[in-house]
Chains A and B, each alone.
Chain A
Amino acid sequence: MADDARTAGSAPVRIDAGARDAAPGHARDTDLGPTRPIGVIGAGTMGAGIAQVAAVAGHPVVLFDVAPSQVELALGQIAGFLRRDAAKGRMANDEAERAVARITGASTLDACAPCALVVEAAPERLALKQQLFADLEGVVAEWAVLATNTSTLSVAAIGGALMRPERLIGLHFFNPAPLMPLVEVIRGPATDEGVVAAVAALAARWGKTPVLAKDTPGFIVNRVARPFYGEALRLLGEGTADAATIDALVRDGGFPMGPFELMDLIGIDVNYAAASSVFEGFFGDPRFRPHPIQRAMVESGRLGRKSGRGYFAYPA
């Protein structure tokens, strides 16, 4: 399936405008080439990272957030990251400055009007994302591609209220987006194959490795990784070994981090939310059942590194 992305190349891809409301034979070409503007919705860590990736690849970028202060903060952070990369010799100074200059902050969606692709990286709330995309449909060109960076919600559900769900696709980056090479490209039930090919090709041009996934709970990584945490928690709960011993044995098996230190790094609340979401998405399949230890940790405020306490202690 990854071959689809490689063979798509950089040529404009024909997108069927959709059977719902387009006249027969009405199709348009879309161009996600390196000069086309990209919109990013949400200036949090993930949105800022995606904006940075797109800008480094040469795209003019509009970074939107409802909070202007968040946009300013993100722009400052991106500039800092890029100038630090330049200082370390990872990129030329002028290259970094050009990338910084390509990103424009915005606090109204209208600024996304010229964008060929808009990537949404808003908080994981279905109603919020549905409203955002409904609003975007009234702003962007009819041929523009819409992408959601959701990690837990269904692309089908997000696109359920859209006039043109065929142009909505999942584009799931991993944190930190500028460094992590993987992007999951999620085909919703209505997503046009031309959109899939164009977005996968774009991700490859951005230096990422796109993998194509169906719109199922957790997609690939957040689903397949569940036993890494779930079985470790059961081993802990059954008294097989303590967290440090389990982590050490898993590291000796070749993993860079053990499950407990990784949950502490991710955030135990974030990990628990992902586990609960996949469990719910599969209608309570016991393979995905979260563990009572997770809930107890969250309820007691032991969230991992960010709270100073998790499965291990992190003195300030």
Chain B
Amino acid sequence: MRLTILGEAETDWAEALAERFRAAGHTVVAGDVGADHRPSDAQLAEALAASDACIDLCVVDRARKAAALALADRHLPPRRPLWTCCLATSATYVAASVEHSTRVFGFSLLPPWAGRTTVECARALQAVDTDVDAAADVWSAVGLAPVWVADGTALVLARIVCCLANEAAFAWMERAAAAADIDTAMRLGTRYPRGPIEWANIVGPRVVVAVLDALAAEHGEDRYRVAPLLRRHAAAGLPLPL
């Protein structure tokens, strides 16, 4: 399988996912659209034209995501699936922004990826039913079983984990407990695999904020308002201190 993965400088996810595909024997070109380093946009366009599928991994930078989707929409041959990371959007919203809307599918794969056996998948409302199974072959190629859920911002695990991280950040900001004690309490009191603050740092505070802002925009509910201290750390490009 030939694949093009488009990412953003905020995360190293594109290259990490590319390595996983390469290890499974697939040919992958990965890069950040608009970045001033190789591969250039022209090289990415050339790779897209020869690809069986494209994965867009942009989350935080909306302008970068729009540019990546425009590039993929223009150069990926018709009927080849365009998988868009819907941590901070939905497949349907992305499909509505491109010309070839029927081949857009959403996915969510929250880090860390080690040990994961499934990937959350959602078809855009504009997707064509007959293309669904073939599109999912992309994930099967790296041992991830697609689990189809209805489309929506962040899908399942990311929505739950980012809200946990946000509540932990609120508790820390309000001095309900020290950050390290909050993580310890959630690991030992509920057997979570890691503390929510540690998880926020693994995912990246800017990604967590992007997910919560997108949930707030989609649902119009105050329950997704971001803890100010989390937002400030994201703005500063700093991890939450543990």
In the complex the two chains form, is A213's CB within 8 Å of B167's CB?
Answer: no
Among A219, A223, A249, the residue within 8 A (CB) of B147 is A249
In the complex the two chains form, is A253's CB within 8 Å of B222's CB?
Answer: no
User: Could you say which of A77-85, A153-161, A174-182 contacts chain B?
Assistant: A174-182
In the complex the two chains form, is A216's CB within 8 Å of B159's CB?
Answer: no
Among A212, A252, A254, A257, the residue within 8 A (CB) of B181 is A212
Give the chain B neighbours of A211 by CB distance below 8 A.
Answer: 177, 181-182, 184-185
In the complex the two chains form, is A249's CB within 8 Å of B120's CB?
Answer: yes
Given contacts A248-B118, A249-B120, contact A224 B168 (CB under 8 A): yes
Given contacts A224-B168, A248-B118, contact A213 B159 (CB under 8 A): no
- Of residues 162 through 188 on chain B, the ones whose CB sits less than 8 Å from some CB of chain A are 163-164, 166-168, 170-171, 174-178, 180-182, 184-186, 188
User: Could you say which of B47-55, B63-71, B123-131, B190-198 contacts chain A?
Assistant: B190-198
Given contacts A214-B177, A248-B147, A249-B120, contact A224 B167 (CB under 8 A): yes
What CA separation (Å) do A182 and B190 show in the bound complex? 9
B16 close to A (CB within 8 Å): no
Query: Interface size class for chain B?
Result: 35 or more
Query: Interface size class for chain A?
Result: 35 or more
What CA separation (Å) do A264 and B95 show in the bound complex? 38
B210 close to A (CB within 8 Å): no
Give the chain B neighbours of A92 by CB distance below 8 A.
Answer: none
Give the chain B neighbours of A2 by CB distance below 8 A.
Answer: 178, 180-181, 184
**Shortest distance between the CB of B19 and any CB in chain A (Å):** 21
Task: Give residues in B with beta carbon < 8 Å to A.
Answer: 110, 115-118, 120, 147, 149-150, 152, 155-157, 159-161, 163-164, 166-168, 170-171, 174-178, 180-182, 184-186, 188-194, 196, 221-223, 225
Q: What would 28 A/B residue contacts be, using CB atoms closer than 8 Å?
A: A1-B178, A1-B181, A2-B184, A182-B184, A182-B188, A184-B185, A211-B184, A211-B185, A214-B177, A220-B181, A220-B182, A221-B190, A224-B168, A224-B182, A225-B164, A225-B190, A227-B166, A232-B160, A235-B159, A238-B152, A240-B156, A241-B149, A245-B156, A249-B157, A250-B160, A255-B191, A255-B193, A287-B225
